[in-house]
Amino acid sequence: MPKKETKTFGDVMPKIEFYPDLPKVALKSILDRQIEVTDAQVVRDFDSKFGKSDFALILFTDLKDGLQYTTLCGGMVVVKKVQYAIDNRLLPLLGTIDQPGDYYDIN
């Protein structure tokens, strides 16, 4: 009797395709810089090594070079503000992500 092939999580989980052809940058590289957020998606209940969490996938235009990039942020304040912008169809918006304490914010 042949052994049943065990699938991987990658085989069975839906793929999150968020502008896969654009460069991805670390959030730290854009902190305290104004960007134009042009699109976003919030991923809910993502399993991580810290437990379930939410994060925002952000498409933005860098105002210095005019190019588009993506980044992600798991900061609760940023996630809530991005979700509000999505729900109310407010994008695109200018914003600056900063870290005023132990959390991230976008204003």
Q: What is the pLDDT along the chain (107 residues), one digit of tens a residue?
A: 667 787 776 666 556 788 999 999 999 999 999 999 999 999 888 777 777 889 999 999 999 999 999 999 999 999 999 999 999 999 999 999 999 999 999 99
Domain ranges of the chain: 22-102
Contact between 105 and 51 (Cβ < 8 Å): no
Residue 9 is inside which H or E element, if any? helix 9-12
DSSP for residue 30 = G
Please state the pTM of the whole predicted model: 0.81
